[in-house]
Structure 1
Amino acid sequence: MCPAVGASLLLLLVSLGPNCTARLSGHSQQVRSQALKRLLEVFGMEDAPQSPHTVRQPPQYMLDLYNTVADVGGLTKDPGLLAGNTVRSFLDRTRSQQFQFFFFNLSSVARSETILSAELHLFKLRGRPSQDSLYHRHHFCQVSVYQILDNNNTSTADGKRLLSSRVLAVHDSTWEVFTITQAVYVWTQNKESNKGLLVIVRTLAGLQLNNQIVRFATARDHHSSKQPMLVLFTDDERRRITTSSSLTDVATETPFLHDTTLQNKVSQSRSTRSLDFLACQRYPLYVDFEEIGWSGWIISPRGYNAYHCKGSCVFPLGQNMRPTNHATVQSIINALKLTKGVASPCCVPDKLFSINLLYFDDDENVVLKQYDDMVAGSCGCH
């Protein structure tokens, strides 16, 4: 029998959605629970994230990024568009009243992940006109972002480290992005070193400006669409998933695969000698995240078509079955019964594509993650 664990797992979950839990036997419920746990492992998670406590709008930046790299079903448009395979957005968590101080909790980032780049996104507000001649006299300012080394000593060089600095127009209102990769790398290696960021605005002559002249939106005082945000690009180097033998056991023992109706269809197919009907080909396999109970934390897509491969690889194998040379030889040996126990080749995916998920993690941060080998692009005899 050809192995089809991935397809079997998805077929099981599609057939045993949460709406039918009440009529499942104890064994079927246990199998479904095991299958969901294994599917979470495919997505690099031990447990499903909790749904946000309140209805939250994802940052527009993350929605735009998702739409850039993925189509409506989550399929990757171009593998080269995204650096690494994970993008996280963290909102400012500061409780400090200190002007232009920002803090981001990065505890969800594993030390083993490769930090590619990190950006501080700040929305610059229009300055408030005042009697201060500085407002009318200066059209440009110097904005500097510092990593705080000592919360009690930020006024001296020993208490902070310069990360990024740029000249900005005083009267503009727009998003500004600063590179802070150096600090984030340190924080992910030593979480205790994360004491936050400090933004200081000066005139081009070096005089520090107050928050009435140049200011940035804060989490406390402004709309959620303008909240300060840290965007982190990483790669967990998790490109291939090796399915354990126990999952094979689960897949082959599922009630869905032993369903009488399905068995009857298979028997009827085997008795039909139409090669067009039996030939190895690709069939739809839609994974609905609502049906498996994941719609509360997955933002996009609502589901995706994984497809699966089905059909016979009997001699003679035509080129439309995309056979390997090995499969061609195996089919000949099988047809001629030259060696006992040699089965016919298997109908399996011979091209696989990646998909993207946009979701909330347990800390309600928005994550964009790309997963390899999730969609069967075509099928062949192997």
Structure 2
Amino acid sequence: MLGTILLLLALAKPTCPSPAGAGNRRAEALKRLLEVFGMEDPPPPPAHFKQPPQYMVDLFNTVANADGVTKNPDILEGNTVRSFLDKTHSEKMRFLFILSSVAKNEKILTAELHLFRLWPRVTDRPQRHHFCQVTIYQVLQGQVDAPGAKKLLAARLVPLQGSGWEVFAITEAVRDWTEDEHSNQGLLVTVQGVDGSPLDPPPLQFASSMDHHDSKKPMLVLFTDDGRRGASLPMADFPDVQPQAPVVPAEMPVPRLSGLRSTRSLDRLQPCQKHPLSVDFEEIGWSGWIISPRGYNAYHCKGSCPFPLGENMRPTNHATVQSIINALKLSEGVSSPCCVPDKLYSINLLYFDDDENVVLKQYDDMVAGSCGCH
């Protein structure tokens, strides 16, 4: 994976004039890099400047460090979080979210409706209760007052005082919509008294998609898993991706065997260790749609795995045996072990998709945590 990225970056930004074929190679390299990120084409940058929902920014900062490297792999149940803004542009308590960007192979884990509760209206009437009942319905037919036109999804008491976000589980409805997009008739929210009695006007209001700032607009947050899984290891000891100290070969006597390189020659070879490998999304041309990070350090492994392999070279048993066979020339065509990543960690991208929804996606096996002889 990391070797592929290194090659792609080299092709993506030539350092000197190249023949016409280099343009095709660059396009092919960027196409392959998009495949690493699970995309066919790069999403177009938003037509106008858009501020991503603060919830998505906060979630990214909770899950990842500044380089996008995962702090804790157990925070997210799946590997994708999508946010959708309401498309009704209405003051009424009815909401519609277009989910066409959700792939058919994504497993729906959890769906949440986020509504921003506004400060209560000033009224001269005394308040008999300090709470009201908020109910969320899945709309099944256009005329919501008709029998069987809606299905109950969630209901709870919400305080009348104060303001802030209220979150309601609507997973059942979203699963229906992703299985049959034509069934998506949206959601209906009602506000009633604690005893279920109607309130006119309701003392509690939520921000609408039409008259309020983007940071308070109704939002659907969807947690999914697209089935991609790598071999990333737990990274409790790897929160900041610190550079790995150079590995020095173990001080062991080198046998005087014919065909072996001299000790002086081995000393001149750099031992297997981790080196920086910068991936800059602006240089690649992706900064218009990627929100965070601006780039990251993937690291790569380089160096020799000379005989004899000490424990500080982190060799596998197979690599140790291969090293011995190579040193003793016991079999033709057996090379010395290779310096490769033996720990790989995931990164997270926060970006705008084709529909200008904000997506947080986690990608496994993107950063070399340490190197060893394999």
* Interval of TM-score (by shorter of Structure 1 and Structure 2): 0.7 to 0.9
Amino acid at match of 2:326: N
Amino acid at match of 1:293: G
Q: Any residues of structure 2 matched to 1:337-376 within 5 Å, and which? A: 337-376=329-368
1:137 paired to 2:128: yes
Match of 2:372 among 358, 373, 380: 380
Question: 1:310 maps to what in 2?
Answer: 302
Q: State the distance in 2 between where 1:281 and 1:189 align.
A: 49
Match of 2:67 among 73, 79, 84: 73
TM-score (norm 1): 0.85
Q: 3-state SS of the aligned residue for 2:168? A: strand
Amino acid at match of 1:108: S
Question: 1:282 maps to what in 2?
Answer: 274
Match of 1:109 among 79, 102, 119: 102
1:171 paired to 2:161: yes
Q: Is the CA contact 2:11–2:25 (under 8 Å) kept in the aligned structure 1?
A: no
Question: 2:116 maps to what in 1?
Answer: 123
Q: Which runs of 5+ in 2 are unaligned?
A: 232-263
Question: 1:90 maps to what in 2?
Answer: 84
Q: Give 1:156 deviation, angstroms.
A: 3.8
Q: Give 1:98 deviation, angstroms.
A: 6.4
1:229 paired to 2:225: no
Q: State the distance in 1 between where 2:371 and 2:269 align.
A: 15
Q: 3-state SS of the aligned residue for 2:55? A: helix
Match of 1:197 among 183, 187, 206: 187
Seq. identity, %: 62
Q: 3-state SS of the aligned residue for 1:215? A: coil
Q: State the distance in 1 between where 2:62 and 2:161 align.
A: 31
Q: 3-state SS of the aligned residue for 1:309? A: strand
1:104-132: per-residue Cα shift (whole Å, max 9, x none)?
0001112221111000000011232346x
Q: State the distance in 2 between where 1:314 and 1:224 align.
A: 59
Question: 1:319 maps to what in 2?
Answer: 311
Question: 1:254 maps to what in 2?
Answer: none
Q: Is the CA contact 1:75–1:355 (under 8 Å) kept in the aligned structure 2?
A: yes
Q: Give 1:170 deviation, angstroms.
A: 1.8
Aligned length: 344
Question: 1:264 maps to what in 2?
Answer: none
Q: 3-state SS of the aligned residue for 1:317? A: coil
1:189-243: per-residue Cα shift (whole Å, max 9, x none)?
11111100000011112222245522110111111110100000011111139xx
Amino acid at match of 1:53: A
Amino acid at match of 1:10: I
Q: 3-state SS of the aligned residue for 1:371? A: strand
Q: 3-state SS of the aligned residue for 1:34? A: helix
Change (3 A) 1:122 1:207: same
Q: State the distance in 2 between where 1:210 and 1:38 align.
A: 58
1:335-362: per-residue Cα shift (whole Å, max 9, x none)?
1111111111111111101111101100
Q: 3-state SS of the aligned residue for 1:80? A: coil
1:335 paired to 2:335: no
Q: Which runs of 5+ in 1 are unaligned?
A: 1-5, 242-271
Question: 1:148 maps to what in 2?
Answer: 139
1:68-125: per-residue Cα shift (whole Å, max 9, x none)?
0100111100111111100001011114x46201000001112221111000000011
Amino acid at match of 1:151: G
TM-score (norm 2): 0.87
Question: 1:292 maps to what in 2?
Answer: 284
Quick check: which one's helix share is greater?
1
Change (3 A) 1:276 1:146: farther
Question: 2:5 maps to what in 1?
Answer: 10
Question: 1:30 maps to what in 2?
Answer: 24
Match of 1:185 among 162, 175, 190: 175
Q: State the distance in 1 between where 2:284 and 2:26 align.
A: 10
Amino acid at match of 2:285: G
